[in-house]
Structure 1
């Protein structure tokens, strides 16, 4: 994307400099309403598929138990058709609009008995609500992790493509809240993308730990019934078993919400950091980055007509804060309780934590798509201060042998003098640079005359040259930025494939279970 115009939109077109007056003067009549944002994405499920809630998974567990135990000889073959029919009736009744869908074993089982007889309780051989609940909690949480991963990928892709559009945009970067050095906006954005990539790694790692079946561990020490735990895990789409029966419902099931909460915390912190960095621009009278006005992004103050309040940024920051707050819940709930207690295990609470992280990411995606960058103003901001001054010290050391601290002292004295005279780097007299250098190195073994020509001195303060001439791996030079963009795209594609594979694995397992269960019903 060209950066020759004063304002560059991050979507698909350029706003000319002449249009910037219109951009700043357009008023939005009311504050934005972002209730349309997706919370808890369910893109992986068709509308006609059942909701995979606790009731759904209790039904699947019972279906798998019926199939496996009948084939393993743990159920009387004569009773199997009746048990299967009773279970199917409960499933069908639960699918009716407004129907009861109990979420606990003790509430589900009476429906089975009512649909069949007490014979259906033969299914409960070697089972407990402990391992059944631990299993459906893991099944639901792994699906929420995939939803979080999907939104993270969507937002990260927007971020990476925004970087690709701004490889030639040079902006000031800040440390300790103060302008520090020039950078390409693409390189800065790719830094944020790297943080989100680590969040994606955390999701994949956590998924592997959550994607383990507790079925067959009963309360905490296994059972005397010869249950086929691996086959049960396969039918429910789990990648592995929880090996230790005590761990299954007493340790790991309490640990999962805490780990997922830590991932949501990281996602929210990364989102909030980005938003805050943009928000600081709104305190300036002439920002170099803003939100596109209108479309619910900004709203006019009710009292001060000049103000364009960044509603979208504020909302997204608030959503990130809400995610951080909710994500601490499992930590406090797990703290100072004995193993296996239900405090941190509530499905609705843990779902809300993940949904809050998804909402923060969805809000950030909107922010990224609404950003308007003014490259000329960004360059002016850089050149209004001495953010390029370190380059003088680097050149004096790299090309002329001065110790860095002595070169740093020269550059620092130039900056001090310039600020005392209100002189910017573009106007700084070369003769003053020569004088300050001579005074700074007096009494040392360094050459008494500034070893930079005037042309070299001016080039050392060129922010575009500084950014483009970096040579280290991971630097801001165009070749490295292009490499990082390409690799980021590859990682996002791989992450999309991973999400699809995990969902297809579960779907295939449940489809096989449905097929085998249907044969029992005749």
Structure 2
């Protein structure tokens, strides 16, 4: 049976353009999903309504008494009666709010003057996104700061570098971890650039090409704390690129976090045993008593997978013909929730890093038994033995194969074996002595020697971290200034709204 709200005929224009209310099936599907998708937008739509009413009052589009009554009802809805559930029988958040306001004042009809529902929802959507973008930026700043602190603490902590999941070369955990901090800082750069485009007011556009009734778009932008207006009215109402751009930013952040989570999950296994997660970030098996499942890391991987789907959905909805509501529905539903999820995921990764325990003994053992010093060995042969690097590489590769086949390590080679291989491969000796060899397999010396810009030497790690800290401090300042500007605008708007309502 079709549910009919007491205000449904009025707010859904039943008896005007339409002769019958929406069917039960339409209410239970499209209307219900639309209302659920817009739940996160309801408070922000309220701010948009307050600003629109204040503008109309100042332009005298609404009679003074009606403007005061409407504003009083809007404030009551925003602060007192704001937990009412959206009724699918009424459809979207705008018609629900109109029905609630109509219960309080006969002036509710003035709210829709020269204003499509799309304008109110789009404005609320942007208001929600910009706040959540700033929260995400703050979380990224905190995570990068956490990475920087750990990188300094572990700038000399020996750690094996991997390629193709095979031990490659020696590094430090500080150098390894700071390699994830720089992409995260670039994520901050991307969010900051996006915010500059996002923080433009779409309100005051009528349907999508302006209106004959007075509108002051710059006033609306100032009231809502925007940096300016979206210059073209139709673009303001139907933008597809910014939702896709935001989804792309979220994917990049989630992928960077997921890559680190993937690594940590591997390094925490019994087979690698390079580090251990805190118990508070794990979950016990219900059947295998020995298991300590890294559930927090698994969640971060799944979050990245989900965001890839969100990006595809938002992009697909944006590529439909312009001026279609399905351009917007996926973005309304997915992006506010995705922003919250990614922010929580970034905070979780920072917490995971804070709880990690490194096993440096196993790290050193892995390097010693895996021929990870082979590249350094070959480079030293260039200096000591007068060979070019290709020759040194060939001799070292043959040496590794020989030692591995007999169960020996690189630091167990003697000068005679190397000279024999050099004669076979190069046709001449390298004139090495046994006393030359320990320096060729010294892990700590190899790390200290990596002094190129961005290298693993402790002093280079400190330089990289200092650069990160400077950049992140700049981002912190930006987030604080942007958030403060929003807070000031909201406080001023609320004060002006209360003053208008007090005239009632």
Report if TM-score (shorter chain) is over 0.5.
yes
Pick aligned residue for 1:115 from 104, 113, 117: 104
Partner residue in 1 for 2:232: 244
The alpha-carbon deviation at position 121 of structure 1 amounts to 3.3
Partner residue in 2 for 1:331: 315
Deviations 1:321-379 (A, max 9, x none): 34444443323333445444335445343222222323332332332123221112101
The alpha-carbon deviation at position 407 of structure 1 amounts to 2.1
Residues 93, 99 of structure 1: 8 Å contact kept: no
Q: Which runs of 5+ in 1 are unaligned?
A: 1-50, 443-447
The alpha-carbon deviation at position 458 of structure 1 amounts to 2.4
The alpha-carbon deviation at position 491 of structure 1 amounts to 2.7
Report the CA distance shift for 1:434/1:341 in structure 2 as closer, same or farther (over 3 A). Answer: same
Partner residue in 2 for 1:70: 57
Report the CA distance shift for 1:52/1:496 in structure 2 as closer, same or farther (over 3 A). Answer: farther
Taking the TM superposition and a 5 Å limit, the aligned residue runs for 1:302-313 are: 302-303=287-288, 305-313=289-297
Deviations 1:307-332 (A, max 9, x none): 44333333443344344444433233
Deviations 1:412-457 (A, max 9, x none): 1221222122220121112111222233222xxxxx3315544443
Q: Give me the TM-score of the superposition, normalised by structure 1.
A: 0.80
Pick aligned residue for 2:94 from 102, 105, 117: 105
Q: Which moved more, 1:404-413 or 1:165-174?
A: 404-413
Aligned equivalents of 1:433 and 1:296: distance in 2?
Answer: 48
Pick aligned residue for 1:261 from 244, 247, 252: 247
Deviations 1:152-194 (A, max 9, x none): 2333322222222211111111111211111111000000111
Taking the TM superposition and a 5 Å limit, the aligned residue runs for 1:3-402 are: 53-77=40-64, 79-95=66-82, 98=84, 104-117=93-106, 119-250=107-238, 252=239, 254-285=240-271, 287-292=273-278, 294-295=279-280, 297-299=282-284, 302-303=287-288, 305-345=289-329, 346-397=331-382, 402=387
The alpha-carbon deviation at position 397 of structure 1 amounts to 4.1
Partner residue in 2 for 1:500: 480
Residues 317, 360 of structure 1: 8 Å contact kept: no
The alpha-carbon deviation at position 80 of structure 1 amounts to 3.5
Residues 136, 343 of structure 2: 8 Å contact kept: yes
Aligned equivalents of 2:250 and 2:467: distance in 1?
Answer: 24
Deviations 1:252-305 (A, max 9, x none): 2x333322222221122112211221222355446122224x3353525624x4
Residues 374, 396 of structure 2: 8 Å contact kept: yes
Aligned equivalents of 1:115 and 1:390: distance in 2?
Answer: 78
Q: How many pairs are equivalent?
A: 461
Residues 144, 354 of structure 1: 8 Å contact kept: yes
The alpha-carbon deviation at position 104 of structure 1 amounts to 2.9
Report the CA distance shift for 1:314/1:93 in structure 2 as closer, same or farther (over 3 A). Answer: closer
Report the CA distance shift for 1:452/1:492 in structure 2 as closer, same or farther (over 3 A). Answer: farther
Q: Give me the TM-score of the superposition, normalised by structure 2.
A: 0.83
Partner residue in 2 for 1:41: none
Q: Which runs of 5+ in 2 are unaligned?
A: 1-37
Partner residue in 2 for 1:410: 395
User: RMSD of the TM alignment (CA)?
Assistant: 2.7
Aligned equivalents of 2:129 and 2:114: distance in 1?
Answer: 24
Report the CA distance shift for 1:404/1:104 in structure 2 as closer, same or farther (over 3 A). Answer: same
